[in-house]
Structure 1
Amino acid sequence: MTAALLYTLGVLVFVVAILVSIGLHELGHMIPAKKFGGKVTQYFIGFGPTVWSKQVGETEYGVKAIPLGGYVKIVGMLPPAAAELADEVTYDAEGRQVTRVRKSNTGMFTQLISDARAAEWELVGPGDADRLFYKMPSWKKVVVMAGGPSVNLLIAFGIFAAVFATWGNAADQSATTTIEEVQACVVPAEESGRVCTDEEIRDQPTPAFEAGIEAGDRIVSFNGVEAEDWEQVQQLIRDNEDRRADIVIERDGELMTIVTETTVTPRFLSEDADEPEPVGFLGVRPESYATTGGPLYTLEQMGGMTVDVVKALGTLPMKVFDVGQAIFGLEERDPAGPVSIVGGGRLAGETAAHEEIQVDEKVISLLMLIAGFNFFIGMFNFVPLLPLDGGHIASALWEALRRGLARLRGRPDPGYVDAAKLLPVAYVVASAMLVMGVVLIVGDLVVPVHLDGS
């Protein structure tokens, strides 16, 4: 296939996978809602104008033009207005319940809440009184609203588990005591990995290069200490400072002893270290391989990912602001920053079309990209703010807590939590999400992030 065809194929695979994920997310809401007796009138993938739809029973299933999400319409999400705010509740000519709100409801947010409540009750018929979402027990509300993002997390778990069990986790490398590379010269820690000049090799060779250690040699012992793993050998080298080192290696099945002296040079002792520290240095890089593991290993890794995502969500507005700056050329775009589904599709296309990436590596990269998007979507939807699923979950949990405390204290039932009162927050959050989404999409079109990190 040509590079252009492979690029297009990669984009299509990613887009279809995300649309399927969205559809399964919405099924995660709809199935338990119907199971609990709720009334679901719509199930749509996408937003905007309807491209296709079909009525099956009381539910309309369809696809809309803008594939940036989806929704299910569960009737009765908002309770009726409090008695003091309503003149009456009546049924129209078609049998739909109508709440008439007093004209004294002035103010932008008050009117918005009133309009939303009225629109919600247009779908309520005379026989729906026991099928309304707000009347469900709190635990059922939690199950319905958590069902969507939980599906995304399950998709991510399934992909991660399959990849980690077979291919391994490329982000979690395990090093061996076999040497993959001998560094020819000592270079500053900030320049680690660059090619040495002939002059540097002559004037400042590494102890390993000067002693004749070769790629493929396996370190058997260091100063009489048997080598168990690379972390132990690395620490022995660092602690040796600039002293003599007797190193037993295995080369082509034979043992041999190499005598040299390690040197002291500043090195970064961890990936997140701010400054290098002077330690013993030999000048070798070990062979490494992606760590493999089963379901428990996958859960452990996803636990670490959860921490990373929570941190990323905290800095997301600033990261998006930086993308906005990059759009106008005020700064370079961060290659490790957030991307939209457009950026994800571009990365999928570049992965599929890359000539130097093997087919199996392309498949794994695409799977990990799809899993990563699902994991983020799932975590993001658990944020306890309306209109996200987490906002509804938080409301249901608060309702359960409030009613439980009332029972313990022998007080009257405080009733349902009125999510409509939180709609101003939902509008603000939705507006912020819309703005951030548009900025990321524009950024992915104007200053895209490429596979090579540029």
Structure 2
Amino acid sequence: MTTILLSVLGIVIFAFGLLFSIAWHELGHLSTAKLFGIRVPQYMVGFGPTIWSRKKGDTEYGVKAIPAGGYIRMIGMFPPGPDGKIEARSSSPFRSMIEDARSAAFEELQPGDESRLFYTRKPWKRVIVMFAGPFMNLILAVVIFMGVAMGFGFQTQTTKVAGVQDCVISQSENRDTCKKGDAVSPAKAAGLRTGDRIIAFDGAAVTNWSQLSDHIRNTIGKATITVERDGKQLELHPVLAKNMVVKKDSNGDAVADQYVPAGYLGFAASTEIQALSFGDSVSRMGDMISNGVDSIIALPTKIPDLWDAAFDGGQRKADSPVGVVGAARIGGEVMNLDVPAENQVAMMLFLLAGFNLSLFLFNMLPLLPLDGGHIAGALWESLRRNLARITKRPDPGPFDVAKLMPVAYVVAGIFICFTVLVLVADIVNPVKIT
């Protein structure tokens, strides 16, 4: 019963974090739209039936039943047709899509709104309005991440010895026990012990695992390591062996299933939670953004594995895309981990930071109906108007983003199918952190 209650608590906490993130995103659109004099009839968090709403000024503020997104309605998102009016409905399905979108943009038009339409604002103002929503998510992600990194920290490998290997085993071999004929590990032969903290390598001070790991990998043969043991400093003289070890990428992270020959000492590094400096936190945040971009680009390649996990009983990979349901389940798992409460809080906050970063990156894709699609439309309009001015040609007028609505429906359909696939996988074969 306790496990169930903690899981529900984790899901509820994540749901509130999700709602706040959505409301925060839409607040960016709302505040900048009002700043530039655009009328906003609605500001809603969620979809479906309205649970609560209240009108203040020109805007109805409310919460809807399904916490899977949110929106604001701005008057005049698309320009009228070539004749200055909403064009008549056509038998063409594509034309119908365009005119349905155009009609929706003007359906709440009131006297005096002619000067408060979205499309009449200069392109740079429209870019700011559409960028403000994702940017709010980026701000929230950075603030949460930096707060966790500098105030709490992350599990970090240190130079303290957690255990000493008995023999030299290639890391490419799938075993952890010694065989007859295996050489004694350099660490054991030199007298390294569990609990020792390595503070120098060949006379060069080492303060973190990355430094020590590089020294070890780059050394084959005799070396001198200085350790702290029971409050005293000792010098040990191992002879490092050449061994196959896990390859590292440019960021110093291990590359799965790839091995290279390098120096080998033979001990396991202890991990501790360490707060990061401001500079290290910024660097780690940069890595997080870079990894997020790579993940967005790689989404299409994840579909086969997702399908196998959802319908064919395949293994759900640790880097598999996770939807709202999957993230909420992870939140429930976090609350059941046998770790201190502050660790749970830090993990929940980190989960929320990752969610907000994903919202920012996803919404910046230059595709309608995403915010990035409207930004791309405004930038294109600005480019062609400036080119017309430079070449002294007539002003081509506003770019009619409504003409891209058939493409937007295709993109939305793909996103919906992908979302359903992730949802099924999250239910039947969820990603687990335990």
User: Considering the TM-score relative to the shorter chain, is it more than 0.5?
Assistant: yes
Larger radius of gyration, structure 1 or 2? 1
Q: RMSD of aligned C-alpha atoms?
A: 2.4
**Corresponding residue SS for 2:298:** helix
Q: How far has the Cα of 1:59 moved from its partner?
A: 1.7
Which structure 2 residue ranges, 5 or more long, are not aligned? 249-253
Secondary structure, in 3 states, of the residue corresponding to 1:180?
A: strand
Contact 1:164 1:293 survives alignment (8 Å): yes
Whether the 8 Å contact between 1:149 and 1:382 is mirrored in structure 2 is yes
The Cα of 1:235 is off from its aligned counterpart by 4.3
In the alignment, the residues of structure 2 paired with residue 273 and residue 47 of structure 1 have an alpha-carbon distance, to the nearest angstrom, of 41
User: Do the aligned partners of residues 294 and 423 (structure 1) sit closer, same or farther apart at CA in structure 2, a change above 3 Å counting?
Assistant: farther
Moved more, 441-450 or 127-136: 441-450
Shift of 1:258: 3.3
The structural deviation recorded for 1:252 is 1.9
Residue equivalent to 2:230: 252
Q: 2: distance between equivalents of 1:248 and 1:307?
A: 37
Closer, same or farther: CA 231–154 of 1 in aligned 2, 3 Å: closer
Deviations 1:291-336 (CA, angstroms, capped at 9, x unpaired): 6445554443333223222221122133134212221115222222
Match of 1:46 in 2: 46
Distance 1:225-1:403 versus aligned 2 partners, 3 A rule:
same
CA distance in 2, matches of 1:340, 1:236: 41
Tell me whether 398-407 or 21-30 shows the greater mean CA deviation. 398-407
Which residue pairs with 1:124 in the alignment? 109
- Counterpart of 2:339? 357
Q: Cα distance, 1:289 vs. partner?
A: 4.6
Superposed displacement of residue 409, structure 1 = 2.0
- Offset of residue 119 of structure 1: 2.7
In 2: Cα distance, 1:402 partner to 1:291 partner: 52
User: Is residue 207 of structure 1 aligned with residue 190 of structure 2?
Assistant: no
Work out whether residues 226 and 235 of structure 2, in 8 Å CA contact, stay in contact via their aligned partners in 1.
yes
8 Å CA contact 2:203–2:224 kept in 1: the answer is: no
Structure 1 partner of 2:17: 17
1:180 matched to 2:162: yes
Larger deviation: 61-70 or 48-57? Answer: 48-57
Q: Which residue does 1:304 correspond to in 2? A: 287
2-structure distance, mates of 1:245, 1:293? 30
Residue number among 123, 127, 147 corresponding to 1:142 in the alignment: 127
What CA distance in whole angstroms lies between the structure 2 residues aligned with 1:133 and 1:120?
A: 9
* Partner amino acid, structure 2, of 1:396: A
Picking from 159, 165, 187, the partner of 2:144 is: 159
Q: CA deviation at 1:358?
A: 1.7
> Could you report, residue by residue, the CA deviation over 1:142-169 in whole angstroms, capped at 9, with x for unpaired residues?
1111111111111101101111111224
The one-letter code sitting in structure 1 at the alignment partner of 2:28 is G
Question: CA deviation digits over 1:67-124, x for unaligned, max 9?
Answer: 11011000100110112xx7xx4xxxxxxxxx351x6x33211121122212322211
Distance 2:283 2:237 in 1: 42
Aligned length: 428
* Equivalent of residue 225 in structure 1, options 199, 203, 208: 203
Residue number in structure 1 paired with 2:240: 262
Q: Could you say if the C-alpha distance between residues 53 and 161 of structure 1 is closer, same or farther in structure 2, counting changes exceeding 3 Å? A: same
Partner residue of 2:432? 450
> 1:382-402 CA distances to partner (integer Å, 9 max, x unpaired)?
111110001111111111122
Counterpart amino acid of 1:74? M
Over the matched positions of the two proteins, sequence identity in percent amounts to 42
2-structure distance, mates of 1:221, 1:326: 47
Give the one of 433, 436, 442 matched to 2:418.
Answer: 436
Is 1:366 aligned to 2:348, yes or no? yes
- CA deviation profile, 1:202-238 (whole Å, cap 9, x unmatched): 954312123321122234555x534444555444444
